[in-house]
Amino acid sequence: MSAKTIAYAEDARHAMLRGVNKLANAVKITLGPKGRNVVLEKKFGSPLSTKDGVSVAKEIELEDPKENMGAQLVREVASKTSDVAGDGTTTATVLAQAIFRDGVKAVTAGGNPMDIKRGIETAVTTAIEEIRKNSRPVAGKMISQIGSISANSDQMIGKIISQAMEKVGKDGVITVEEAKGLETSSEVVEGMQFDRGYL
């Protein structure tokens, strides 16, 4: 069993904050339609150039174990956002960085960590209520626009996503696979599909 590093108070908080900042700063340059690409070194094969925040977050491992814990917290935020929403991982990472940074600032100034946690939970509830109040159904051309934005401003991908949404409906499942050739296409599969058996 390897020895564990134990850190307390200011030392632990600031080390984790450094890790949060290192990961978030690498991810946040991909934010928005004018975001820039990040080149990731792969263990096998050629480097990967991507604008996907969660892909960048998953590749970052820091040498310092305390900093790496902070990075892991933000990586988990990006992964959960990707799993639940499918997009918005970079925005979630930037928000997590700001919440963590301001939380550390408040604790350093003498704030009670549990009061800060309850305050964050109240703010989240209020934000969700406001988003629900201001949201509106998406249909037609808006689906194409949203698809294009999510596909790094690729109009053709947006159009294909819009057509797929029309075919399967709002409760249908759309699966994206990398093409073996140069063509981009869509295919509707009726019923259930099992890629693997139960054995």
Comparison of pLDDT for 190 and 62, the residue scoring more: 62
CA distances from 29 to 143, 161, 164, 184 (A): 25, 26, 30, 28
Domains in the chain, CATH or no CATH each: 9-134 (1.10.560.10), 137-181 (no CATH)
pLDDT for res 155: 85
pLDDT for res 2: 73
Nearest residue to 117 via CA among 130, 99, 105 = 99
Q: Which residues contact 107 (CB under 8 A, 6 or more apart)?
A: 13, 113, 116
| pLDDT greater than 70 at residue 193 | no
CA-based radius of gyration for the chain:
21
pLDDT digits (tens, 9 = 90+) for 15-33: 999 999 999 999 999 998 7
Q: What is the Cα–Cα distance from 74 to 16, expressed in whole angstroms?
A: 10
Are the beta carbons of 116 and 131 closer than 8 angstroms? no
pLDDT digits (tens, 9 = 90+) for 177-192: 887 888 888 888 777 7
Mean pLDDT (whole number) for 146-167: 81
Mean pLDDT over the full length of the chain: 88
* Assigned token pair, 181: 């050739």
pLDDT for res 1: 63
Q: What is the Cα–Cα distance from 150 to 147, expressed in whole angstroms?
A: 5
Confidence of residue 197 (pLDDT cuts 50, 70, 90): low
pLDDT digits (tens, 9 = 90+) for 144-154: 888 787 776 78
DSSP 145-171: HHHHHHTTS-HHHHHHHHHHHHHH-TT
pLDDT for res 56: 92
pLDDT for res 156: 86
pLDDT digits (tens, 9 = 90+) for 66-103: 999 999 999 999 999 988 887 889 999 999 999 999 99
Q: What is the Cα–Cα distance from 24 to 62, expressed in whole angstroms?
A: 13
